[in-house]
Structure 1
Amino acid sequence: MEVSPVYQTTPISDIEQPDFLNLVVVAESTLEPLTILDRALAIEANFGRTREVPHGPRTLDIDVIMVGKRVSEDDIELPHPRAHERAFVLVPWHDVDPNGELAGHGPIAELLDEIDTTVVSRRDDVVINANVGF
């Protein structure tokens, strides 16, 4: 498992809220995509995540970006539909997997050339304990 550095970003929302802290985890799993998503949602719930306001403030938000080379499962869209245009996904992902590719979109390094990466700032002062299991 590889865990990226933490990055700070302004939320993409019309709702006023604090900046987000983002990171990417690249891991191997034998679990099916929906099982991974269910476990991610359970982790969010354990941290008090609620979903009253779409795109509103949240304690934790875990997105499943890609599972292997899978594309579009029944109940989960893979890869994540906007990952290719989001600096808060691509910048930390590139840190841990510089040769990575986003299925259907190409190499992360090339995708980074197409977006504004100045919207994320690395936070080396924030340390994440990545000893969680999926």
Structure 2
Amino acid sequence: MGSNIGNRLEHLIQAVRLLHEHAAINVKNVSSVYETEPVGLTEQAKFLNIAVELETSLEATELLSACQFIENKLGRMRKIRWGPRTVDLDILLYNNDQIQLEHLIIPHLRMAERAFVLVPLVEINPELKNPVSGELYRQQPALKEEGIVLWKKVACVEEFLQPN
């Protein structure tokens, strides 16, 4: 997840809370919060990023719909590709599945190239492997990129969801 408009942390908290409140989703883990430089369109505010581990009975496409509902509820506007956003929820992995649909590709296409994805993901699970290549994500060269800073340490989901 990422946010770079308004109260970035509050947007992330609200998104996790809405996932947590969904009857078919169990939020198992939340990474620490990292501040990162924007990618693609670089003339915008820095992002706060987290990774979230979920357990769900939803199919991948149903989970995507739930994520997009949350984005819309929190004011996400899709005007500029890679532009500023209140909140962005991407499905990076879904079990060890490989999914190729027009609107959903899993594993996420560019996740292994992006430190802002890998750092929080590897924090949650250092043994996580790419389901296509079998490589550990913690061994990806992008993990060592600069431009990602620990912004707030998080120990558990409950701590993350506590009011500031």
Find the partner of 1:84 among 102, 106, 112.
Answer: 112
RMSD value, Cα: 1.9
Name the residue aligned to 1:100: 128
The structural deviation recorded for 1:13 is 2.4
1:3 aligned onto 2:17 = no
The 8 Å contact of residues 122 and 138 in structure 2, kept in 1 or not, is answered as yes
Structure 2, unaligned runs of 5 or more: 1-27
Number of aligned pairs? Answer: 128
Structure 1, unaligned runs of 5 or more: none
Larger helix percent: 2
Larger strand percent: 2
| Alpha-carbon spacing, 1:85–1:15, altered in 2? closer, same or farther (3 Å) | closer
Percentage identity across aligned positions? 31
State the Cα deviation string for residues 104-130 of structure 1 (Å, max 9, x = none): 14211111xx12332211112787428
Aligned pairs for 1:27-106 (under 5 A) are 27-75=54-102, 76-105=104-133, 106=135
State the Cα deviation string for residues 36-77 of structure 1 (Å, max 9, x = none): 111000110011001011111110001000101111233411
Higher mean alpha-carbon deviation, 115-124 vs 21-30, is at: 115-124
TM-score, length basis structure 1: 0.87
Higher mean alpha-carbon deviation, 88-97 vs 9-18, is at: 9-18
